[in-house]
Amino acid sequence: MKKIALALGLLSATVFANAADPLNGTVWKTIDDTTKQPKAVVKFTEQKNGTLNATIQNVLTPGEENACVKCEGPYHNKSLKGVTIVTGLKNVGGKNYDNGSILDPKNGKTYKLKAELAGNQLKLRGYIGIAALGRNQTWVRAN
């Protein structure tokens, strides 16, 4: 009986350890800081190394879907649809994330990123250097 209980305990620990991250596969609407209107729909995917990336699935603001003019590298002058704007985000415990980066397609700059999952909201903090020198943005879960 003890062997069975031990085996079940180890099995359940393995299942929890391999469980997908709560953000993996979720879809979110990004919200414009100024207008408070949805700008784009992004989807998170978990990478082989356990980090999360988010890619633009759809641009909701007319006239802004055409090109990432100020983006560098492979996204320069490409459509925003398909651009990976979040990379390397890692769950650091519970519903807290850190060590990621986020691309701002408006200016083409990349910032450090930390985030917190709060129900149907994802609270993001993009910053340069230290988190105190940054700005917040809240995305809402798309249904």
Question: Domains along the chain?
Answer: 21-141 (2.40.128.520)
This model's pTM is above 0.85: no
pLDDT digits (tens, 9 = 90+) for 34-93: 889 999 999 999 999 999 999 999 999 887 777 788 888 888 888 899 999 999 999 999
Task: Quote the CA–CA distance of 2 and 140 in Å, as a whole number.
Answer: 47
Cα-to-chain-centroid distance, residue 8: 34
Q: What pLDDT is stored for residue 71 in this prediction?
A: 84
The gap between the terminal CA atoms of the chain, to the nearest Å, is: 46
61: its two tokens? 């603001």
**C-alpha gyration radius of the chain:** 18
